[in-house]
Structure 1
Amino acid sequence: MPECSNCGSFVTVDYVRVFAPNQMANPRVCPHCEDMVRDGPDVREARSVRQ
């Protein structure tokens, strides 16, 4: 089953299809990673509060 590479939470196959690059089986961040964002090939802390 797919999981978030950052926090390990379960994500759906549809989430992976939409938010992960084609060659990746798991997304770099997920909705459970509220303080993290994708930044190119990496993950970094959000610079502002996300709502």
Structure 2
Amino acid sequence: MPECRNCGSFVTERYVRVFAPPELDAVRVCPDCEDMVRDGAGVREARSKRV
């Protein structure tokens, strides 16, 4: 089962198809990663907090 590489949470295969780079089989961040965003090839804290 696919999971988030940042927090380990379960994500659906459809979510991975949409949000993961073509060469990866897992996403770098997911909706459970509060205040984290994809930045190029990495992950960073969001500059502004999500409400």
Q: TM-score, normalised by structure 2?
A: 0.95
Q: TM-score, normalised by structure 1?
A: 0.95
* 1:5 alignment counterpart: 5
Distance 1:18 1:42 in 2: 17
Identity in percent: 73
Structure 1 residue ranges (4+ consecutive) displaced by more than 3 angstroms after TM superposition: none
Distance 1:23 1:39 in 2: 16
Alignment gaps of 5+ in structure 1: none
Alignment gaps of 5+ in structure 2: none
* 1:45 alignment counterpart: 45
Alignment length (residue pairs)? 51
- What's the Cα RMSD here? 0.6
Distance 2:11 2:47 in 1: 24
Does residue 23 (structure 1) correspond to residue 15 (structure 2)? The answer is no
